Homo-oligomer: A and B are copies of this chain.
Amino acid sequence: MTVITLLTDFGLRDGYVGVMKGVILGIASQVQIADITHAIQAQDVREGAFALGRCAAYFPPGTIHVAVVDPGVGTRRRGLAARLGEQFFVGPDNGLFTLLYQQAQQRGDPIELVHLTQTRYWLPRLSSVFHGRDVFAPVAAHLANGIPLAELGPYIHDPVLLDIQQPERIPGGWRGQVVVVDNFGNLSTNLTQEHLQNMDNTCVRIAGRAIVGMVKTFGEAEAGVLVAMFGEENDLAIAVVNGNAAEELGAEVGTAVEVVEAGEKA
């Protein structure tokens, strides 16, 4: 069965997500629907893009990801369906798919993008405020039923892309940023194992604190200790064992993180 995922900023309180599932199941009854998250901060396209960027690859080839963080709903912003590598993506053309688009480009994966204009694949009545229900859910269901991407609208080549900050060289190391703060208060950064691979011993500097060396996992240090480690995506992650690093450091998305050889001057 084809998998359709949902990622939104709708929350789970109002039934909006349930309604999208109803629409999908009315068109394509033999699908597996899986929620990625519905707790993206309201209208925070960047947060949605990072969440989707981290999660999509764990779903099987052929998965159709519906992402709706859509401050421009009802305006002239385009709706989009995309094939990026072996998966499909449906949502507003506002940058939500930036990370996956760039990954596909870097890998040389097949990329196809269409502007959703074929209203026969939408709900009959189009609201100005809920295209997740009226456009994106039905389009995803039709894709699951085998409708080709090209049927949904004309090809485009200029998707809206977010400006994603990249780590930069500093003397003796790199400066990056916190890109995700998770539910446990763990910090994920845009620095990865590759940035650190030639360092003998690292010193991670964040929010006025310095962490010398890295641990392999939480269990290596005592409760309450601030540690650096490689996270679940080989990203440099910063955590407080059994605690909340974001709160303890006052860190948030965008907070600077530097990593240098331990012993280098700050």
Contacts and interface: CB of A to CB of B under 8 A. Distances in A.
A22 B232 contact: no
A219 interface: yes
B220 A75 contact: yes
A30 interface: yes
A165 interface: no
Interface in A126-147: 127-130, 133
A51 B15 contact: yes
Contacts of A35: 12, 17-18, 21
Contacts of A183: 10-11, 13-14
Interface of A: 1, 3, 5, 7, 10-19, 21-23, 25-26, 29-30, 32-39, 42-43, 51, 54-55, 58-60, 63, 71-75, 77, 127-130, 133, 180, 182-184, 216-220, 229-232, 237, 242
9 contacts: A3-B25, A3-B29, A11-B183, A13-B39, A19-B58, A73-B219, A127-B230, A128-B216, A129-B217
